[in-house]
Chain A
Amino acid sequence: MLEKAKVSFFLAGRSITRGNKGITIFTIFVLTLIFVQLVLFSSMLAGVTLKFNELMVDYQTGNVVIEPEEEQRYIEDASALQKKIESLPRVIGTTARLKTSGNFRYKEKEMGGTVYGIDPTDESFVTAIEDAIISGEFLSRPDRGEIILGREVSGGFGALMESRSLGGVEVGDTVELTIEGKTREFRVKGIYTTRYFMADASAYINRADLEEMLGVENQDLAQEIAVRTTAGTDEYETRMALLSLGVRENIRTWHEFAGILRLIENTLGLIRNIMNAIGLLIAFVIIFVVIYVNIVNKKRQIGVQKAIGIEQNVIVASFVLQAMLYAGTGVILGYCFMRFGLVPYTVAHPVDIPLGTMSLKLDDAEAINRAVLLFLASIVGSVIPAYKLAQKDLLELIWDK
Chain B
Amino acid sequence: MENERENERENERENERENERENERENESKIQKNDIIIEGMDIVRTFRMGEVQVRALRGVSVNIRRGEFVAIMGPSGSGKTTLLNQLGILDTPNSGKVVIDGTDTSTLPEKEKGKFRLHNLGYVFQDYALLPELSAAENVYLSLMMQGKSKAEYESAAAEILTAVGLGDRLAQLPSKMSGGQQQRVSIARALAHSPIILFADEPCANLDSETSKEVLDLFKKFNTEYGQTIVMVTHEEWHAAYTDRVIKLKDGMLEQ
**Interface 9-mer from A48-56, A59-67, A308-316:** A308-316
Separation of A349 and B90 alpha carbons in the complex (Å): 65
Query: Is B170's beta carbon under 8 Å from chain A?
Result: no
Separation of A309 and B108 alpha carbons in the complex (Å): 14
Separation of A6 and B149 alpha carbons in the complex (Å): 11
- CB < 8 Å neighbour of B133 from A18, A314, A394, A401: A18
Query: Chain B residue with minimal CB distance to A19?
Result: B133
Separation of A310 and B117 alpha carbons in the complex (Å): 9
Separation of A328 and B85 alpha carbons in the complex (Å): 41
With A7-B145, A308-B123, A394-B91 as known contacts, state yes or no: A14 contacts B114, CB within 8 Å: no
With A395-B85, A395-B90 as known contacts, state yes or no: A10 contacts B145, CB within 8 Å: yes
**Min CB gap B57→A, angstroms:** 14
Residues of A289-339 whose CB lies within 8 A of B: 300-301, 304-312, 314
Q: Are A3 and B133 in contact (CB under 8 A)?
A: no
**Min CB gap B65→A, angstroms:** 24
Q: What residues of B have a CB within 8 angstroms of the CB of A306 in the complex? A: 114
Query: Is A398's beta carbon under 8 Å from chain B?
Result: yes
**Min CB gap B100→A, angstroms:** 14
- CB < 8 Å neighbour of B143 from A2, A309, A312: A309
Query: Is B148's beta carbon under 8 Å from chain A?
Result: yes
With A18-B174, A394-B91, A401-B47 as known contacts, state yes or no: A310 contacts B133, CB within 8 Å: no
- Report whether over half of chain A's contact residues are helix, strand or loop; otherwise say mixed: helix
With A18-B174, A307-B123, A308-B142 as known contacts, state yes or no: A398 contacts B129, CB within 8 Å: yes
Query: Is A15's beta carbon under 8 Å from chain B?
Result: yes
- CB < 8 Å neighbour of A14 from B91, B111, B134: B134
Query: Is B125's beta carbon under 8 Å from chain A?
Result: yes
**Min CB gap B110→A, angstroms:** 8
**Min CB gap B161→A, angstroms:** 14
**Min CB gap A386→B, angstroms:** 16
Query: Is B66's beta carbon under 8 Å from chain A?
Result: no
Query: Chain B residue with minimal CB distance to A301?
Result: B131
Q: Are B143 and A310 in contact (CB under 8 A)?
A: yes
**Min CB gap A166→B, angstroms:** 74
**Min CB gap B192→A, angstroms:** 12
Q: Are A300 and B129 in contact (CB under 8 A)?
A: yes
Per-residue CB contact flags for chain B residues 28-43 toward chain A (1 = under 8 Å, else 0) read 0000000000000000
Separation of A340 and B53 alpha carbons in the complex (Å): 65
Separation of A6 and B125 alpha carbons in the complex (Å): 26
Q: Are B138 and A7 in contact (CB under 8 A)?
A: no
**Min CB gap A147→B, angstroms:** 78
Separation of A395 and B111 alpha carbons in the complex (Å): 16
The 4 closest A-B pairs by CB, nearest first: A309-B118, A3-B148, A18-B133, A309-B117
Known contacts A7-B145, A311-B114; 10 additional CB pairs below 8 A are: A3-B147, A4-B146, A7-B146, A308-B123, A309-B117, A310-B114, A312-B111, A394-B90, A398-B125, A401-B47
A-B contact pairs, 28 of them (CB 8 A): A3-B145, A3-B146, A7-B142, A7-B146, A14-B138, A15-B133, A18-B133, A19-B133, A301-B131, A304-B129, A305-B131, A308-B142, A308-B143, A308-B190, A309-B114, A309-B116, A309-B117, A309-B146, A310-B114, A310-B143, A311-B111, A311-B146, A312-B111, A312-B114, A394-B90, A395-B85, A395-B90, A398-B90
